[in-house]
Amino acid sequence: MAYKYCTATNWGKNFFTHEERRQFHLAGHPGDVWVVGDNLYGDQWIGKVSGAIKSKSEAQAIVTAEIEAAQAAYDALSADEQALQTRPAIYNLP
């Protein structure tokens, strides 16, 4: 499946609708990064939410930076506090 990548801030209701979820793949990631199915409906949605188009590597860099910041926050916790959470792990976008 081909994807497009963008950043957009989720404003809440109607940011993505039930109908849109049936029309194209959509997945949110840290840093307001959205992976969007590459079809007509996905393109229309990016326009609707004023998404800023990113290349896959640009999107990955945003996600990785967010996770690294979360890792740093985790590492700064006490051992007791760390025991209640898990250390975030970097992963690759599809």
Interface residues with other proteins (CB under 8 A) are 10-18, 20-22, 26-30, 66-67, 70, 73-74, 78, 80-81, 84-91
Minimum CB distance to other proteins smaller for 2 or for 22 = 22
* Minimal distance, residue 57 CB to other proteins, in Å: 18
* Minimal distance, residue 15 CB to other proteins, in Å: 4
Taking the C-alpha atoms of residue 15 and residue 58, their distance in angstroms, rounded to an integer, is: 23
Minimum CB distance to other proteins smaller for 13 or for 47 = 13
* Minimal distance, residue 43 CB to other proteins, in Å: 17
Closest CA to 42 of 84, 88, 3: 3
Strand order in the sheet with 52-54: 26-29, 33-37, 3-7, 52-54
Say which residues have a Cβ less than 8 Å from residue 55's Cβ, sequence separation at least 6.
5
**What's the one-letter identity of residue 79?**
A
